[in-house]
């Protein structure tokens, strides 16, 4: 087996953690050897993944034939007088012809105050928000509670009021866990169960019914290593896990490793195999796909440094991802939310030394991106969910 490289961080910063001061590296065994995957055709061309508020990749597929007209943000955290505070409200802004955003206006608020949650936009179906950190309505908004395992769905276009759905399952609550949609199912992988505890399971739930909604979840596989704040992306019939953070000898670990898998008819995952490496160790980044390539935006690349780097990954002949640098964003940030809509990339909010309201839109031209600012969020926030419809 090929070893995977980690950076070791004595303590982690994810808005809910301290900034570490030093790092080192170590080797750990990965999930398998490089190769080519088979499996059922489950993905959809033209998909776009929205980076979850934890910086992880949450699928928000873009219908190729129908341009998105609105960009939405949900929940997250902001900073008030030096303390984190949950954001309950949701906002939406019109996507104008040139890709700029119009004024932000209220959208249906979350049913539960959440941050670092999984957000998956099902094409032709509901918006799904799962897990995260948060509090029930009426409880104080400051601080974090134990990890949530409940799930909410909002149907319609534009999405309507939030409704409850089957939860992730006993002991399956998690935050900073990415999600995506592949085939007819929502997948959620990894995540944290505490500041120092990480999950390695992958759960999936079919989307069906009238109106369509989330059906009961089941465990369909195990990650190569327990981790959070990574990217989870569906390309065709393959599922990719990118970078992320976990526990290593001596502290919190950041990896550049990537893996891929496919699924069988019952949604169970085949063994993970290596799919190359990101150009550097990263966690808490945003990730989107245009259906054929993967875009990794920002994140944290060392013991304490947020970054504005952008990388584009393209599958090679063996379906491993070959990465090339692209144009950096204008703003350094981790725990941003990312959306691909109408051929453009949007980088929304996030944090470095403090939480930001900046929204950038990027015009994609081959391997380069031309970034410009557009209408900022009305309230600075990070660790939020987002999508475009």
Q: What is the structure's pLDDT at 203? A: 94
- pLDDT tens for the chain, 389 residues long, are 334 444 433 333 333 333 333 333 323 344 444 333 333 333 333 334 444 445 443 544 443 458 999 999 999 998 876 667 888 889 999 999 999 999 999 998 887 888 999 999 998 899 999 998 875 544 454 444 557 888 989 988 788 888 889 998 766 678 999 999 998 999 999 999 887 889 999 999 999 988 889 999 999 999 999 999 999 999 988 999 999 999 876 677 899 999 999 988 888 999 999 999 999 999 999 999 999 999 999 999 875 689 999 999 999 999 999 999 999 999 999 999 999 999 999 999 999 988 999 999 999 999 999 999 999 999 999 999 999 99
Closest by CA to 233, choosing from 180, 272, 190, is: 180
- Give the domains, in start order, of the chain with CATH numbers: 3-388 (2.120.10.80)
Q: Which residue has the tokens 């980690």?
A: 6
Q: What is the structure's pLDDT at 64? A: 46
Q: What is the structure's pLDDT at 27? A: 35
Whether a cis peptide bond, with omega within 30° of 0, leads into 123 is no
Q: What is the structure's pLDDT at 99? A: 98
Q: What does pTM read for this prediction? A: 0.85
């Amino acid at each position: 087996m090929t070893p995977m490289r980690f950076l070791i961080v004595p303590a982690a910063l994810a808005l809910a953690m301290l900034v570490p001061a030093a790092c080192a590296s170590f080797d750990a065994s990965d999930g398998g050897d490089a190769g080519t995957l088979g499996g059922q055709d489950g993905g959809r061309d033209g998909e776009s993944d929205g980076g979850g508020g934890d910086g992880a990749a949450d699928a928000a597929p873009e219908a190729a034939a129908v341009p998105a007209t609105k960009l939405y943000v949900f929940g997250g955290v902001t900073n008030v007088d030096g303390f984190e505070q949950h954001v309950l409200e949701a906002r939406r802004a019109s996507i104008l012809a040139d890709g700029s955003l119009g004024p932000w206006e209220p959208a249906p608020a979350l049913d539960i105050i959440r941050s670092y949650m999984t957000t998956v936009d099902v094409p032709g179906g509901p918006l799904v928000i799962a897990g995260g950190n948060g509090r029930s309505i009426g409880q104080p908004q400051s601080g974090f509670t134990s990890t949530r395992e409940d799930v909410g769905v909002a149907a319609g276009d534009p999405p309507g009021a939030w409704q409850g759905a089957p939860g992730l399952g006993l002991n399956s609550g998690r935050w900073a866990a990415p999600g995506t949609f592949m085939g007819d199912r929502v997948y959620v992988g990894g995540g944290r169960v505490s500041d120092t505890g990480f999950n390695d399971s992958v759960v999936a739930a079919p989307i069906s019914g009238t109106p369509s909604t989330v059906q009961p979840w089941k465990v369909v596989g195990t990650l190569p290593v327990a981790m959070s704040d990574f990217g989870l992306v569906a390309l065709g019939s393959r599922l990719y896990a990118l970078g992320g953070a976990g526990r290593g000898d001596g502290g919190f670990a950041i990896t550049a490793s990537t893996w891929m898998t496919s699924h069988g008819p019952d949604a169970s995952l085949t063994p993970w195999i290596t799919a190359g490496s990101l150009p550097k160790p990263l966690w808490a980044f945003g990730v989107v796909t245009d259906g054929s390539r993967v875009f990794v935006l920002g994140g944290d690349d060392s013991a304490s440094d947020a970054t504005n780097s952008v990388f584009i990954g393209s599958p090679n002949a063996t379906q491993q991802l070959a990465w090339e640098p692209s144009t950096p964003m204008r703003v350094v940030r981790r725990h941003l939310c990312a959306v691909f809509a109408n051929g453009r990339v949007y980088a929304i909010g996030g944090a470095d030394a403090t939480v930001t309201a900046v929204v950038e839109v990027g015009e994609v031209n081959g391997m380069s991106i031309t970034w410009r600012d557009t209408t900022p969020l009305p309230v600075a926030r990070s660790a939020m969910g987002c999508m475009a419809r």
